[in-house]
Amino acid sequence: MKRLLLSLVPLALAAGCAGPVTTEAPRAPDGESLAPEAAQSRVPPGATQAEVAAALGPALQVDFDNGHAVWAYRWPDAAEPRNTRAASELVILFDSAGRVQKLRLRPGYR
Protein backbone atom coordinates (compact mmCIF):
# COMPACT_ATOMS: atom_id res chain seq x y z
CA MET A 1 0.00 0.00 0.00
CA LYS A 2 2.80 2.40 0.92
CA ARG A 3 4.56 1.64 -2.38
CA LEU A 4 1.34 2.43 -4.26
CA LEU A 5 0.99 5.77 -2.48
CA LEU A 6 4.59 6.68 -3.16
CA SER A 7 4.09 5.93 -6.85
CA LEU A 8 0.98 8.14 -6.96
CA VAL A 9 2.62 11.24 -5.45
CA PRO A 10 4.87 12.08 -8.46
CA LEU A 11 1.95 11.54 -10.83
CA ALA A 12 -0.29 13.76 -8.76
CA LEU A 13 2.35 16.47 -8.55
CA ALA A 14 2.89 16.33 -12.30
CA ALA A 15 -0.85 16.55 -12.90
CA GLY A 16 -1.08 19.53 -10.55
CA CYS A 17 1.82 21.28 -12.26
CA ALA A 18 0.20 20.81 -15.65
CA GLY A 19 -3.00 22.53 -14.56
CA PRO A 20 -3.96 26.13 -15.20
CA VAL A 21 -2.32 28.90 -13.24
CA THR A 22 -4.69 30.87 -11.09
CA THR A 23 -4.01 34.57 -10.75
CA GLU A 24 -5.31 34.78 -7.20
CA ALA A 25 -3.78 33.43 -4.00
CA PRO A 26 -5.94 31.34 -1.63
CA ARG A 27 -7.96 33.40 0.83
CA ALA A 28 -8.99 32.96 4.44
CA PRO A 29 -12.74 32.66 5.16
CA ASP A 30 -12.77 36.38 6.05
CA GLY A 31 -11.48 37.18 2.53
CA GLU A 32 -7.91 38.04 3.57
CA SER A 33 -5.19 36.78 1.22
CA LEU A 34 -3.03 34.07 2.82
CA ALA A 35 0.73 33.69 2.52
CA PRO A 36 1.87 30.15 1.62
CA GLU A 37 3.24 29.46 5.12
CA ALA A 38 0.03 30.73 6.74
CA ALA A 39 -2.04 28.46 4.50
CA GLN A 40 0.16 25.48 5.37
CA SER A 41 -0.32 26.13 9.09
CA ARG A 42 -4.12 26.07 8.64
CA VAL A 43 -4.02 22.42 7.50
CA PRO A 44 -3.56 20.09 10.51
CA PRO A 45 -2.70 16.42 9.96
CA GLY A 46 -5.85 14.37 9.52
CA ALA A 47 -8.04 17.33 8.52
CA THR A 48 -10.97 16.47 6.24
CA GLN A 49 -11.45 17.78 2.72
CA ALA A 50 -14.34 19.91 3.97
CA GLU A 51 -12.14 21.46 6.68
CA VAL A 52 -9.37 22.24 4.17
CA ALA A 53 -11.86 23.75 1.71
CA ALA A 54 -13.32 25.91 4.50
CA ALA A 55 -9.86 27.10 5.56
CA LEU A 56 -8.31 27.69 2.12
CA GLY A 57 -11.13 27.81 -0.44
CA PRO A 58 -11.27 26.00 -3.80
CA ALA A 59 -8.21 24.13 -5.10
CA LEU A 60 -6.96 22.49 -8.26
CA GLN A 61 -8.07 18.88 -7.65
CA VAL A 62 -7.00 15.50 -8.96
CA ASP A 63 -9.09 12.52 -7.82
CA PHE A 64 -7.88 8.92 -8.21
CA ASP A 65 -9.92 5.75 -8.71
CA ASN A 66 -8.69 4.32 -5.38
CA GLY A 67 -10.29 7.21 -3.48
CA HIS A 68 -7.12 9.25 -2.88
CA ALA A 69 -7.02 12.87 -4.00
CA VAL A 70 -4.47 15.64 -4.44
CA TRP A 71 -5.32 19.29 -4.03
CA ALA A 72 -2.99 22.10 -5.09
CA TYR A 73 -3.04 25.76 -4.12
CA ARG A 74 -0.86 28.24 -6.01
CA TRP A 75 0.52 31.68 -5.30
CA PRO A 76 1.52 33.28 -8.61
CA ASP A 77 4.71 35.31 -8.73
CA ALA A 78 3.89 39.02 -9.09
CA ALA A 79 6.54 39.50 -11.79
CA GLU A 80 5.54 36.38 -13.77
CA PRO A 81 1.88 35.58 -12.95
CA ARG A 82 1.45 33.01 -15.78
CA ASN A 83 4.69 31.10 -15.07
CA THR A 84 3.92 27.86 -13.15
CA ARG A 85 7.57 27.42 -12.10
CA ALA A 86 7.59 30.86 -10.49
CA ALA A 87 4.42 30.13 -8.49
CA SER A 88 4.69 28.82 -4.93
CA GLU A 89 2.51 25.75 -4.46
CA LEU A 90 0.94 23.92 -1.52
CA VAL A 91 0.13 20.29 -2.45
CA ILE A 92 -2.08 18.22 -0.16
CA LEU A 93 -2.54 14.43 -0.44
CA PHE A 94 -5.78 13.01 0.94
CA ASP A 95 -6.26 9.32 1.79
CA SER A 96 -9.28 7.30 0.68
CA ALA A 97 -11.18 8.45 3.80
CA GLY A 98 -10.78 12.08 2.68
CA ARG A 99 -8.28 13.03 5.39
CA VAL A 100 -4.94 14.82 4.97
CA GLN A 101 -2.17 12.27 4.70
CA LYS A 102 0.70 14.53 3.55
CA LEU A 103 1.28 18.09 2.52
CA ARG A 104 4.19 19.89 0.93
CA LEU A 105 4.98 23.53 0.28
CA ARG A 106 7.09 24.17 -2.82
CA PRO A 107 8.61 27.61 -3.26
CA GLY A 108 8.53 29.24 -6.67
CA TYR A 109 11.61 29.03 -8.92
CA ARG A 110 13.00 31.62 -11.30
Instruction: Write down the pLDDT at residue 91.
Output: 96
The predicted-structure confidence for 73-109, as pLDDT tens digits, reads as follows: 999 888 888 888 888 999 999 999 999 999 999 998 8
> How far is it, in rounded angstroms, from Cα 77 to Cα 74?
9
Query: What CATH number should be reported for the domain holding residue 87?
Result: 3.30.1450.10
Domain ranges, residue 17: 2-106
Count of domains forming the chain: 1
Measure CA 1 to chain center.
Answer: 22
What confidence tens digit (pLDDT) does each residue in 8-59 have? 556 555 555 555 544 466 766 667 788 899 999 999 999 999 999 999 999 9
User: What pLDDT does residue 4 have?
Assistant: 54
Contact residues for 47 (Cβ-Cβ < 8 A; gap 6+): 55, 99, 100
Given pLDDT bands bounded at 50, 70 and 90, which one contains residue 68? Answer: very high
